[in-house]
């Protein structure tokens, strides 16, 4: 940042126990930074809980996938470690405080930084809490169509700049929620304007997409969660497909004329890809795909990927169930698709049967399982895996 006097960030105090969303929408959204100060009394809605955030970090750190190196980064001083090993949080640590004490024994006074991307993707209670909190903001400012990012930063130093990873085509506004510590924020906006703020636990800082930021972390452990909100729309049909993936690659066009001795047939891999594209682009599959994406986006709150489903539920005639999440459905290409919690399934129930069942679920009415047909029970089992219904 260039030198110059910094203006204190506007502080928006709570209104009736809630952050002042209306003032944020009218005076600050896409205009200038703000610090949303939550009420200090217990019982108010917060976007994150410290225990859930720690459990989410543990789940992300120890879920073995090919992209773990992109999702979880650990730095000791200026060095970004390729294999952090036992320096990542463990279930037995139990909390950030205990984790910090263990790292103190292992690293001494050497500063460290833990960064976890897609934090919401491995912990359903954390995902559900963040989604519920953001829903109130979307009522005021409008919900973005592109996926929202959630990134944990924890440690005693500012994380080093990561190597370039997946390119982002979306300008994004940012919310920074403080769980522990007192980070200091410096912002530079259009016209070389400068803002400064020092946040305390419970504060939610906001800055627009066209602002550069720098966060100074004191040497004491600090925990923040960044929520990035894209400000440009994304295509409804993205690369994620229930029937596979549609990747996006650059098309290379030769500058010269093609040779005359090209074969009359396509290579097998290209022919198979072309056949797949033709099949998926037919009206019926395309209708189903569109309906799948509409239902998924209508139930995930913008937080993608949603935590994976658990095992399907198992219910007996003695059980009764009720919905814990709103359930949506839509006819598509001769099928009936049902969605909850960012996941979509299909059912053999008729439109009339399905409409009656979902109406009862969304009304909060208890459903005796003994009254339900086998297709309805199978649907409830899938909704239980989505965490949308519970046994009473």
Instruction: Give me the percent of the chain exceeding a pLDDT of 90.
Output: 54
Q: How many CA atoms lie within 13 A of 9 on its CB side?
A: 31
Among 238-247, 280-289, 337-346, the range with the most confident prediction by mean pLDDT is 337-346
**pLDDT, greater one: 227 or 240:** 227
Gap between the Cα atoms of 87 and 74, Å rounded: 8
For residues 370 and 16, give the distance between their C-alpha atoms in angstroms, rounded to a whole number.
45
Instruction: Give the per-residue pLDDT at 333.
Output: 85
Angle between helix 50-62 and 96-107 (nearest 10): 50
Listed residue (340, 322, 335, 318) closest to 375, CA to CA: 335
- Of residues 77 and 250, more confidence is placed in 77
Question: Who wins on pLDDT, 287 or 383?
Answer: 383
Please state, in angstroms and rounded to a whole number, the distance separating the CA atoms of residues 182 and 185. Answer: 10
The edge-to-edge listing of strands for the beta sheet with 79-81 is: 10-12, 34-37, 203-207, 172-180, 222-230, 149-155, 112-116, 72-76, 79-81
- Burial status of residue 50 (CB atoms within 10 A of its CB: 0-12, 13-18, 19 or more): middle
pLDDT band at 238 (very low <50, low <70, confident <90, very high): low
Report the predicted TM-score, pTM, of the whole model to 2 decimal places: 0.83
How far from 227 is each of 134, 153, 224, CA to CA, in Å?
Answer: 10, 11, 10
pLDDT value for 363 = 95
> Does the pLDDT of residue 69 top 60, yes or no?
no
**pLDDT bracket for residue 360 (50, 70, 90):** very high
Q: Which is higher by pLDDT, 283 or 224?
A: 224
Helix (H, G, I), strand (E, B) or coil at 1: coil
Q: Tell me: pLDDT of 10 over 50.
A: yes
Residue where the block lists tokens 């007996």:
316
pLDDT of residue 346: 94
Phi, psi for 45 (deg, rounded to 5): -70, 135
User: Is 334:284 a contact under the CB 8 Å cutoff?
Assistant: yes
| pLDDT at residue 162, as a whole number | 53
> Taking the mean position of all CA atoms in its chain, how far away is CA 300?
9
CA dist 66 and 83 (Å) reads 14
With a CB cutoff of 8 Å and minimum separation 6, the contacts of 261 are none
User: By C-alpha distance, which of 26, 178, 50, 124 is closest to 386?
Assistant: 124
Examine the pLDDT at 1 and tell me if it is beyond 70: no
- pLDDT computed for residue 283 by the predictor: 75
Q: Is 313's pLDDT higher than 50?
A: yes
Query: Mean pLDDT over residues 347-357, rounded?
Result: 95
**How much is the pLDDT for 217?**
83
Number of neighbouring beta carbons within 10 Å of residue 148: 21
CB atoms within 10 A of CB 332: 21
Per-residue confidence (pLDDT) for residue 167, from 0 to 100: 39
What Å distances lie between residue 359 and 152, 154, 217, CA to CA?
A: 38, 44, 50
Q: What's the mean pLDDT when you consider all of the chain?
A: 85
pLDDT value, residue 247:
43
Which structure tokens are listed for 47?
A: 């976007």
Q: Tell me, what's the pLDDT at 163?
A: 42
For 180: left if phi > 0, alpha if psi spans -120 to 50, otherwise beta; the answer is beta
Return the SS3 of 372.
coil
Residue 70's pLDDT is what? 75
Pick from 54-68, 120-134, 251-265 the range whose average pLDDT is largest: 120-134
Highest mean pLDDT among 38-42, 269-273, 284-288: 284-288
DSSP state of 114: E
Average pLDDT for 339-368: 95
**pLDDT reported for residue 12:** 85
Q: Which pairing describes strands 193-198 and 7-8: parallel, antiparallel, or unpaired? A: parallel
Quick check: 37 pLDDT over 80?
A: yes
Instruction: Say yes or no to pLDDT of 168 above 60.
Output: no
């Amino acid at each position: 940042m260039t030198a110059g006097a910094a203006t204190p960030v506007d502080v928006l105090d709570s209104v009736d126990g809630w952050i002042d969303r209306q003032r944020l929408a009218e005076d600050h959204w896409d205009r200038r930074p703000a610090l949303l100060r939550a009420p200090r009394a217990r019982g108010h809605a917060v976007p994150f809980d410290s225990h859930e955030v720690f459990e989410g970090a543990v789940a992300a750190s120890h879920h073995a996938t090919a992209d773990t190196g992109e999702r979880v980064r650990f730095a000791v001083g200026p060095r970004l470690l390729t294999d952090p090993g036992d320096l990542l949080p463990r279930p037995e640590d139990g909390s950030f405080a205990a984790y910090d004490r263990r790292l103190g024994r292992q690293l001494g006074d050497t500063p460290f930084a833990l960064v976890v991307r897609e934090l919401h993707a491995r912990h359903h209670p954390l995902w559900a809490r963040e989604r519920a909190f953001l829903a109130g903001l979307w009522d005021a400012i409008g919900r973005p169509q592109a996926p929202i990012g959630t990134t944990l930063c924890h440690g005693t130093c500012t994380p080093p700049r990561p190597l370039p990873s997946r390119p982002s085509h979306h300008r994004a506004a940012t919310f920074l929620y403080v769980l522990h510590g007192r980070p200091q924020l410096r912002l530079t906006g259009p016209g070389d304007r400068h803002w400064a703020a020092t946040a305390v636990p419970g504060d939610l800082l906001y800055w627009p997409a066209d602002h550069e930021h720098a966060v100074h972390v004191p040497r004491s452990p600090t925990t923040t969660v960044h929520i990035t909100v894209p400000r440009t729309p994304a295509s409804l049909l993205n690369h994620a497909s229930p029937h596979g993936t549609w990747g996006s690659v650059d098309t290379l066009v030769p500058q010269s004329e093609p040779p005359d001795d090209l074969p009359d047939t396509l290579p097998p891999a290209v022919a198979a890809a072309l056949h797949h594209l033709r099949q998926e682009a037919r009206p019926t599959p395309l209708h189903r795909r569109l309906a799948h994406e509409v239902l998924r986006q209508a139930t995930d709150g913008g937080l993608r990927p949603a935590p994976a489903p658990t095992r399907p539920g198992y219910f007996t005639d003695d059980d009764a169930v009720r919905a814990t999440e709103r359930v949506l459905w839509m006819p598509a290409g001769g099928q009936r698709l049902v969605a909850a919690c960012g996941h979509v399934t299909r059912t053999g129930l008729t439109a009339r049967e399905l409409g009656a069942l979902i109406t009862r679920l969304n009304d909060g009415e208890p459903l005796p399982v003994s009254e339900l047909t086998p297709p309805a029970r199978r649907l409830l089992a899938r909704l239980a895996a989505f965490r949308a219904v519970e046994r009473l």
